[in-house]
Structure 1
Amino acid sequence: MTEAISADRQLSALRDLAGRELSQGILPFWEAHAFAPDGTLRGGVSDDLDYLDDLPRHAVLAARILWTFSASAQALPEQRERHLATARRALDLLTGPMWDTQHGGVYWSLAADGVVLDDRKQVYAQAFTVYGLSAWARATGDEDALDRALWLAGVLDATARDLEYGGYVEALARDWSPTARLALSELDPDVPKSMNTNLHVLEGLTELLRASADLTVRESLETLLRTTLECIVREAPFAHCALYFDETWEPSSDGVSYGHDIETSWLLWDAWEALAAHGVEDADLEWRAREASLALAEAVRHEGVDPDGAVLYAGTHAGPTDRDRHWWPQAEGVVGWLNAFQLGGRAEDRRAAIRAWDFIETHVKDHRNGEWFARLDASNRPLTGGTGDLKMGPWKCPYHNARACLEVLRRIES
Structure 2
Amino acid sequence: MDLAQLRVELRQEHKDILAYWQRYAPDPEHGGFYGRVNYQNQPDPTAEKGIVLNARILWTFSAALRHTQHEDYRATADQAFQYIQKHFIDPQYGGVYWSVDASGQPKNTLKHLYGQAFALYGLSEYVHATHSAPALTLAKEVFQNMVKHAYDSKKGGFVEALARDWSPAKDYIISKYDNKEIKTMNTHLHILEAFTCLYRVWPDKSVSDQMRGMLRMFQEYIIDPKTYRMNLFMDNDWKIRRTAISYGHDIEASWLLPEAADVLAARNPSDKPLQKTIRDVGLKMARAAATGFDPNDGGMNYELDPDGHLNRERSWWVLAEAMVGFMNAYQITHEKPFLDKSVKSWEFIKKYLLDLKNGEWFLGVTGDHKVLGNEKISMWKCPYHNSRSCLEMLERLDHLR
- TM-score surpassing 0.5? yes
Whole-Å Cα distance in 2 between the matches of residues 336 and 124 of structure 1? Answer: 22
The gaps in structure 1 that reach 5 residues or longer are: 1-8
Q: 1:232 to 1:214 in 2, by over 3 A?
A: same
- CA shift, 1:162, in A, is 1.1
Q: For residue 68 of structure 1, what is the aligned residue in structure 2?
A: 60
Whole-Å Cα distance in 2 between the matches of residues 172 and 283 of structure 1? Answer: 35
1:132 counterpart (107, 110, 122): 122
Alignment of 1:284-299 (within 5 A): 284-299=273-288
Q: 1:411 to 1:92 in 2, by over 3 A?
A: same
Whole-Å Cα distance in 2 between the matches of residues 222 and 185 of structure 1? Answer: 25
For the 8 Å contact 1:226–1:285, the answer to whether it is kept is: no
- TM-score, with structure 2 as normaliser: 0.95
Alignment of 1:165-176 (within 5 A): 165-176=155-166
SS of the residue corresponding to residue 260 of structure 1 reads helix
Whole-Å Cα distance in 2 between the matches of residues 334 and 320 of structure 1? Answer: 24
Alignment of 1:208-357 (within 5 A): 208-236=198-226, 238-305=227-294, 307-317=296-306, 319=308, 321-357=310-346
For the 8 Å contact 1:183–1:189, the answer to whether it is kept is: no
- CA shift, 1:185, in A, is 6.7
Whole-Å Cα distance in 1 between the matches of residues 43 and 28 of structure 2? Answer: 12
Q: 239-248 vs 306-315, which deviates more? A: 306-315
- TM-score, with structure 1 as normaliser: 0.92
Whole-Å Cα distance in 1 between the matches of residues 213 and 22 of structure 2? Answer: 38
Whole-Å Cα distance in 2 between the matches of residues 187 and 61 of structure 1? Answer: 24
- CA shift, 1:267, in A, is 0.2
For the 8 Å contact 1:304–1:320, the answer to whether it is kept is: no
Q: 1:94 to 1:255 in 2, by over 3 A?
A: same
Structure 2 residue identity aligned to 1:33 = Y
Structure 2 residue identity aligned to 1:40 = G
Identity of aligned residues (%): 37
Whole-Å Cα distance in 1 between the matches of residues 225 and 292 of structure 2? Answer: 14
The aligned length equals 398
- CA shift, 1:347, in A, is 1.4
Q: 397-406 vs 275-284, which deviates more? A: 275-284
For the 8 Å contact 2:246–2:304, the answer to whether it is kept is: yes
SS of the residue corresponding to residue 282 of structure 1 reads helix
Alignment of 1:18-33 (within 5 A): 18-23=10-15, 25-33=16-24
Structure 1 residue identity aligned to 2:208 = R
Whole-Å Cα distance in 2 between the matches of residues 29 and 84 of structure 1? Answer: 16
Q: 65-74 vs 272-281, which deviates more? A: 272-281
For the 8 Å contact 2:180–2:234, the answer to whether it is kept is: no
- CA shift, 1:21, in A, is 0.2
Whole-Å Cα distance in 1 between the matches of residues 260 and 291 of structure 2? Answer: 25
1:104 counterpart (90, 94, 98): 94
Structure 2 residue identity aligned to 1:285 = L
Whole-Å Cα distance in 1 between the matches of residues 309 and 270 of structure 2? Answer: 39
For the 8 Å contact 1:172–1:179, the answer to whether it is kept is: yes
Whole-Å Cα distance in 2 between the matches of residues 129 and 321 of structure 1? Answer: 33
Over the residues paired in the alignment, what is the CA RMSD in angstroms?
Answer: 1.8
The gaps in structure 2 that reach 5 residues or longer are: none
Residue 399 in structure 1 maps to residue 384 in structure 2: yes
- CA shift, 1:40, in A, is 2.8
Q: For residue 4 of structure 1, what is the aligned residue in structure 2?
A: none
Whole-Å Cα distance in 2 between the matches of residues 281 and 383 of structure 1? Answer: 48
Residue 361 in structure 1 maps to residue 361 in structure 2: no
Deviations 1:160-193 (A, max 9, x none): 1111111111001101122122332789966100
- CA shift, 1:89, in A, is 1.2
- CA shift, 1:34, in A, is 0.9
- CA shift, 1:303, in A, is 3.4
- CA shift, 1:410, in A, is 1.0
Residue 46 in structure 1 maps to residue 31 in structure 2: no
